[in-house]
């Protein structure tokens, strides 16, 4: 459950998951994948997370 976690901790968990998905879809391994900005939006008892990723350099 994400309810009791710090928003920064949630951001890191999402980045790890999304990085894996991006690497699988592109067939490339990224060495840099970091959050440029992070914000939340509460809607109908749910929280939406918006994370802007920067620094997508990859190994060839």
How far is 58 from 37, CA to CA, in rounded Å? 21
* pLDDT band for position 60 (cuts 50, 70, 90): very low
The b-or-e profile of 16-31 (16+ CB within 10 A means b, else e) is eeebeeeeeeeeeebe
**How far is residue 56 CA from its own chain's centroid?**
13
Angle at 42 between CA 10 and CA 21, to 5 degrees: 40
Query: Predicted confidence band at 59 (pLDDT cuts at 50, 70, 90)?
Result: low
Q: What's the pLDDT tens digit per position in 1-51?
A: 566 778 778 778 888 888 888 889 988 888 877 788 888 888 998 888 888
pLDDT of residue 31: 80
Indicate the domain borders of the chain. 7-59
């Amino acid at each position: 459950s994400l309810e009791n976690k710090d928003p920064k901790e949630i951001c890191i968990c999402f980045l790890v998951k999304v990085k894996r998905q991006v690497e699988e879809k592109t067939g490339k391994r990224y060495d840099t994948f970091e959050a440029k900005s992070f914000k939340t939006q509460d809607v109908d008892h749910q929280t939406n997370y918006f994370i802007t990723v920067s620094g997508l350099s990859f190994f060839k």
